[in-house]
Structure 1
Amino acid sequence: MAYSEKLAERINSILKGKRGIVQKKMFGGICYMYKDKMSVGIVKDDLMIRVLPEKYDEYLKKPHVRKMDFTGKPLKGFLYVGSQGIKTERQLSKWIDVGLEFAVKSPPKKISKKTTKKAVKKASHKKKSGA
């Protein structure tokens, strides 16, 4: 088990009825995407959250929160919240709101030229094949 299924059930319960949420396997766990941006996720037993850059240091000071550094180098804008920090549904819901805030308020993703070229090529291939 790469991630806590119990935590996934809790998150699913909180997000139930929220339109636009998509689950995706990522970082060896599961992530919840909103507006095409990762908002929260689960890696092992930890809640992984995306935070706005201007709030990163503020949230890092909270109990049971640490930098996300599974590669040995912390990823700015990503934090882990340990199980002690999400014991109650209220605590978990609060952290989910932090992740959703990132997805709503952060600027749109920049699309690289390489990605754009792939999309154009794929679309033209579909036209030719009649798909």
Structure 2
Amino acid sequence: MAYDEELAERIRDLIESGPTVTERRMFGGLSFMVDGNMALAVSGEGGLLVRVGSALHDRFVDDGSVRQAMMGNREMTGWVRVSAPHVEDDAHLREWVTRGVEFARSLPPKS
């Protein structure tokens, strides 16, 4: 399944552009990188993958619209999968983009 181009465009409208923000096609989706660190991705499976870090992970998982992100059978530690219906609302999408970008900015930049 191809990723949602409309969702990717909505993220582009929200995310700060500049030399430290890049996009990369990965794992059937489109990843948004901040300072070389992956912040979030429009998933090829629908919805959004957001990097929130291990410390905040459990705070966001609700077994409904936000669940543990998986790569095959392996849990992606520090990542959540946000359902497509949950990010149809611009305010919710903005919250998730902000969370992912803030976490990526908290990491040392990669060259």
With normalisation by structure 2, the TM-score equals 0.87
Shift of 1:27: 1.6
- 1:38-65 alpha-carbon deviations (Å, 9 max, x no partner): 0011112211111122101101137500
DSSP 3-state at the match of 2:70 = coil
Distance 2:80 2:92 in 1: 15
Identity rate, percent: 30
Higher Cα radius of gyration? 1
Shift of 1:72: 1.1
Structure with higher RCO (Cα < 8 A, 6+ apart): 2
Instruction: Determine whether 1:27 maps to 2:30.
Output: no
DSSP 3-state at the match of 1:3 = coil
DSSP 3-state at the match of 1:69 = strand
Distance 2:14 2:108 in 1: 25
Aligned residues: 109
CA contact (8 A) 2:37 2:107 kept: no
Structure 2: gaps of 5 or more residues = none
Amino acid at match of 2:17: K
With normalisation by structure 1, the TM-score equals 0.74
Q: Pick closer, same or farther for the CA change 1:46–1:79 going to 2, 3 Å.
A: same
DSSP 3-state at the match of 1:61 = coil
| 1:15-94 equivalence runs, <5 A | 15=15, 17-19=16-18, 20-44=20-44, 45-61=46-62, 63-94=64-95
Tell me which protein shows more helix as a share of its residues: 1
DSSP 3-state at the match of 1:66 = strand
CA RMSD across the alignment: 2.0
Could you tell me which residue of structure 1 aligns to residue 13 of structure 2? Answer: 13
Distance 1:71 1:38 in 2: 19
Instruction: Determine whether 1:3 maps to 2:6.
Output: no
Tell me which protein shows more strand as a share of its residues: 2
